[in-house]
Amino acid sequence: MSGRCLPYLRQVSDIPRLYRRTNREVPSRPCAYVAALLAPVAAFRQEHLSLCGEEALRPWLVDVFNAVAAQFLANVSEVLAAVQKMEESLRRLKRVSDELSYTLLLLFFCFHSVTALVMSTTRFI
């Protein structure tokens, strides 16, 4: 049963794309995939509740939810690690860009100073 739920967990990786560089508000409701994720278990429970009873289904449902929760944790950890890597790369890129801008600015001032010096010296020659 948990195998029927797990494909929906791949949608966890879409969350950063949905909120990157947007001014969207923080979600106040679960994502749509959460309801879809739980639907097979809920349907199975409804179908078999009258046959087995709640007590017989409970351990089985706990096992299914534990498996789904473990995979969810693994997927979320993967996404968070990827987001952290991306943020670190962007910070490094910005630092390099800032250093390059500073270097180019220094080169411009040096070039401008040398040009002014050459121009002033050529007047005397």
Q: Look at the alpha carbons of 29, 31, 36, 39 in this order and tell me if their dihedral is positive or negative.
A: negative
Residue 45 resides in a domain: yes
Residue 45: give the domain boundaries: 2-92
Residue 75 resides in a domain: yes
Residue 102 resides in a domain: no
Count the domains in the chain. 1
Q: How far apart are CA 40 and CA 36, in angstroms?
A: 8
Residue 98 resides in a domain: no
Residue 124 resides in a domain: no
pLDDT confidence tier of residue 30, bands split at 50, 70 and 90: confident
Residue 103 resides in a domain: no
pLDDT confidence tier of residue 68, bands split at 50, 70 and 90: confident
Residue 28 resides in a domain: yes
Residue 125 has pLDDT above 80, yes or no: no
